Amino acid sequence: MDRFDNSPETALDWYETGKPVALATVVQTWGSAPRRVGAQLVIAGDGRFEGSVSGGCVEGAVVVEALEAIEEGEARLLEFGVSDEDAFAVGLACGGTIRVLVEPIGSVLPESILSDLVAARAQREPVAYEVNIESGHRALQRDRYPERMRMDRSGFEEDAKTFVSVHNPPLRLIVVGAVHIAQALVPMARIAGYDPAIVDPRDAFATAARFPEETVLTDWPDEAVAKLGMDARTAVVLLTHDPKLDDPALEAALRAGVFYIGALGSNRTHAKRVTRMKEAGFTEGQISQIHGPVGLDIGAADPAEIAVSILAEMTAVLRGKA
């Protein structure tokens, strides 16, 4: 699933208003395909569509096929070759091939499955949509594909029949400490697909001028993270160097099971942090989740380079790299 793609929500909304609808999904690619596996296009019976499966290369043909599929009430598996010329027009150096699965809602993709999928996405619950293109079996799976979920990787299973579409919640980043490193890290994280928020009760730091158009909370950190919410798709980075500010958010993050916790400070500072967390009742296993000093050791020398090291470490942890 592409980050922040609302195709399932659009499909359900259109269907519930009485429109015949089909959902088209990229299920396989070869070469330099314009869109990744899992990208989706929603097509209504009147020809209206939203989303993209090819960046504009084959959308017209998919819409025509989808309208016919809606009329017949049957799924269609389409294959398109994207020419070098068409690929160049959407920003790629060379073309490729894509396969697109078209599923009319109701007659093929049950409304109940689509509704459950949309509900899971609204609750930030990771879920996978599974379809066997030969038998037509369709289901939602929550614990069956942990590696795919961790890697955000939709695709066919080894049987070449079962397609799995990953629907993970958008990634979130909570930064405690509106300092110079945060000013570099937040825009970098947004480019990488995170929805960031900055927490700092110090009015001199937490200003709109320092973080234009970003979410900035001036509550005490434990209150702020409670408002924001934390889950397995959340990263927390602590940058204040002040235990009375960092520790409340740190304790909340350890309890919430976020996928990444990074804390600024030297090895000596981190040793003191570990001691405080032990005194607070956390286990060695929980404490070992804290990355301190924060970031990969790349010899970073200024706030921007430190931000690069932090984002790199967040990515490594998310994708299961040591």
Q: What is the pLDDT of residue 263?
A: 97
- Span 112-132, average pLDDT: 96
Closest CA to 22 of 116, 103, 143: 103
pLDDT digits (tens, 9 = 90+) for 201-217: 999 999 999 999 999 99
| Residue limits of CATH 3.40.50.720 in the chain | 171-318
Comparison of pLDDT for 18 and 92, the residue scoring more: 18
Q: What is the pLDDT of residue 90?
A: 53
Q: What is the pLDDT of residue 297?
A: 94
The number of CA neighbours under 13 Å toward the Cβ of 301 is 1
pLDDT digits (tens, 9 = 90+) for 63-116: 999 999 999 999 999 998 766 666 555 554 456 788 999 999 999 999 999 999
Q: At what angle do helices 267-279 and 243-256 cross, to 10 degrees?
A: 60
d(CA 62, CA 280): 58
- Asked if 263 and 283 count as a contact pair (C-beta separation under 8 A), the reply is no
- Span 255-267, average pLDDT: 95
Q: What is the pLDDT of residue 246?
A: 95
Q: What is the pLDDT of residue 1?
A: 41
* Paired sense of beta strands 162-167 and 127-132, if any: antiparallel
Q: For residue 195, what are the contacts with CB-CB under 8 A and spacing of at least 6? A: 170, 171, 172, 173
Q: Is the pLDDT of residue 3 over 80?
A: no
Q: What is the pLDDT of residue 227?
A: 94
Q: How confident is the model at residue 282 (pLDDT cuts 50, 70, 90)?
A: very high
- Asked if 221 and 201 count as a contact pair (C-beta separation under 8 A), the reply is yes
Q: Is the pLDDT of residue 52 over 90?
A: no
Q: What is the pLDDT of residue 89?
A: 55
Q: What is the pLDDT of residue 88?
A: 53
Q: How confident is the model at residue 192 (pLDDT cuts 50, 70, 90)?
A: very high
Q: What is the pLDDT of residue 63?
A: 95
Q: What is the pLDDT of residue 83?
A: 66
pLDDT digits (tens, 9 = 90+) for 134-156: 999 999 999 999 999 988 999 99
- Span 278-295, average pLDDT: 96
Q: What is the pLDDT of residue 34?
A: 63
- Span 12-26, average pLDDT: 96
Q: Locate 39 and state its tokens.
A: 């990208």
User: Three-state secondary structure along the chain?
Assistant: CCCCCCHHHHHHHHHHCCCCEEEEEEEEEEECCCCCCCCEEEEECCCCEEECCCCCCCHHHHHHHHHHHHHHCCCEEEEEEECHHHHHHCCCCCCEEEEEEEEEECCCECHHHHHHHHHHHHCCCCEEEEEECCCCCEEEECCCCHHHHHHCCCEECCCCCEEEEEECCCEEEEEECCCHHHHHHHHHHHHCCEEEEEECCCCCCCCCCCCCCCEEECCCHHHHHHHHCCCCCEEEEECCCCHHHHHHHHHHHHHHCCCEEEECCCHHHHHHHHHHHHHCCCCHHHHCCEECCCCCCCCCCCHHHHHHHHHHHHHHHHCCCC
d(CA 132, CA 157): 10
Q: What is the pLDDT of residue 312?
A: 98
- Span 170-176, average pLDDT: 96
- Span 250-276, average pLDDT: 96
* Paired sense of beta strands 155-156 and 234-238, if any: unpaired
171-318: CATH architecture = 3-Layer(aba) Sandwich (3.40)
Q: What is the pLDDT of residue 247?
A: 96
- Asked if 140 and 117 count as a contact pair (C-beta separation under 8 A), the reply is yes
The mean of the pLDDT values for the chain is 92
Q: Is the pLDDT of residue 53 over 90?
A: no
d(CA 177, CA 171): 19
